[in-house]
Amino acid sequence: MSCLGLIGLFGLIGFTGLLNKVHPSQSGSSIRLLSMLGLFGLLGFWIPSFGACGAFGAFGVWNHQNKSISRLAHLGWLGGVGLFQTLNLYLL
């Protein structure tokens, strides 16, 4: 459970899309807004399960034109672990 909060820091990968701009003709500007979910990863220091949901922020580089950066978006699926843990802890 202690490393669960660190999973959310993968969401900060979405901000690499801000450093390496996407060409304006590239579609999917709404997907790039998902990088803001990476800020939830910082909550992982206080609430580990909720912070792990911040890994969804990595989806912000899903359709990046640089293939090495777009492969990092697959780490966003780790946010599902945090979502499951959050629902398990707070709703059940």
Among the listed residues 27, 9, 11, the one whose alpha carbon sits nearest the alpha carbon of residue 64: 27
The domain segmentation of the chain, as residue ranges, is 4-91
Q: pLDDT by residue (tens digit) across 55-86?
A: 888 888 888 888 888 898 898 898 888 888 88
pLDDT at 2: 63
Look up tokens 């990863």; give the residue: 41
- The model carries a pTM of 0.77
Longest dimension (CA), the chain: 45
Q: In which band, very low, low, confident or very high, does the pLDDT at 46 lie, cut at 50, 70 and 90?
A: confident
Residues 52 and 4: beta-carbon distance below 8 Å: yes
